[in-house]
Amino acid sequence: MNIHIIGGGNLGSAIAIGLAQFTTGNNITVTRRNVQLIENLKQYDIATSADNTAGISRADIVILAIKPWQVDAVLEEILPLVKGKVIASGASGVTVDHLNQKIAGSNVVVRIMPNIAVQYGASATCISAAADDIKNTQTIVELFDKVGTAVIIDEKLMDAATVLGACGTAFALRYIRASMQAGIEIGFDAKTALAIAAQTALGATQMLLQEGAHPEQLIDKVTTPQGCTIAGLNEMEHEGFSSSLIKGIKTSLHKIKG
Ligand SMILES: NC(=O)c1ccc[n+]([C@@H]2O[C@H](COP(=O)([O-])OP(=O)(O)OC[C@H]3O[C@@H](n4cnc5c(N)ncnc54)[C@H](OP(=O)(O)O)[C@@H]3O)[C@@H](O)[C@H]2O)c1
């Protein structure tokens, strides 16, 4: 397929590199106005351009990875050249309804919410579309399934998906950073502390996903009665560990809904 990504920033570049690394047979183009900032994408065989319309008429899928307030202007620029194509928008908060009004029925519109781990084939991508277009989202689902996991969700959960899946990357990284800082305090140099904290988080995630278990089942395997793990865990809970995460996620959702 020819995949045309408009907006080579954090998300657009990550999607492009992920697709280049984890799929085969696709031609990928990325555009942004300051095109010199994405020259590095060429090493992955990704074409770059400052012109959003360059080669767009050959595209099978157009992905919008631009800020919400840039969507209308970009659509006006490209619409005459993309009739009938699938347009997948990653712009937070821009609804399928809004996109459909802009394109006036001439395209299949899909909303996507990946995260930047898409670059490493590890995104948790949520996808939604209008009921009439759901059957046409399969190509997008299959594509994002190759760079992590891809699920179709009800559009009313898109803001929640943004918080849990996209903002969630930052939340998980902050957990690792805190573990690293504690690791330094208990005796490791910073590099070793980070390596241990990051690999331990990865290992816990792999166990969880491969065993399909509830986290608490795996926690039970690590907690000896009267041992050091349960003592540390309970102290964290007394200090509001789970509660602060839940409150943070709800605050992010409140913020996104304006
Ligand atoms: N970052 C994430 O983790 C993440 C995850 C999920 C969803 N999102 C959503 O994805 C969208 C992009 O986020 P981001 O973090 O990637 O932002 P970003 O890093 O600022 O990237 C946006 C890119 O769009 C380009 N751009 C702006 N106007 C353009 C135009 N008219 N034509 C072509 N390119 C244009 C900008 O480059 P120039 O100024 O050089 O044109 C910039 O590189 C946002 O709506 C965000 O909410 C982000």
Q: Look up the CATH number of the domain holding residue 206.
A: 1.10.3730.10
State which of 101, 119, 153 marks the end of a domain. 153
Do 191 and 111 have their domain in common?
no
Domain hosting residue 69, numbered range: 2-153
**213 annotated ligand-binding residue:** no
Helix (H/G/I), strand (E/B), else coil: 118:
helix
Q: What is the pLDDT of residues 70-112, one digit of tens each?
A: 999 999 999 999 988 999 999 999 999 999 999 877 788 999 9
Do 10 and 130 have their domain in common?
yes
Query: Can you tell me which atom of ligand 1 is nearest the CA of 50?
Result: 33
Q: Output the ligand 1 site: residues, CB below 6 A.
A: 6-12, 31-34, 52, 65-68, 70, 74, 90-92, 113-116, 166
CATH number, domain of 29, equals 3.40.50.720
Rg (CA), the chain: 21
Report the number of distinct structural domains present in the chain. 2
Do 36 and 111 have their domain in common?
yes
Region of 48 on the Ramachandran plot (φ > 0 left; ψ -120 to 50 alpha; else beta): beta
Q: What is the pLDDT of residues 166-218, one digit of tens each?
A: 999 999 999 999 999 999 999 999 999 999 999 999 999 999 999 999 999 99
pLDDT at 135 over 80: no
The whole-angstrom separation of Cα 25 and Cα 2 is: 9
**6 annotated ligand-binding residue:** yes
How much distance in Å is there from the Cα of 11 to the middle of ligand 1? 7
Q: Secondary structure of the chain: what % helix, strand, coil (to 5)?
A: 60, 15, 25
Do 192 and 121 have their domain in common?
no
State which of 95, 130, 153 marks the end of a domain. 153
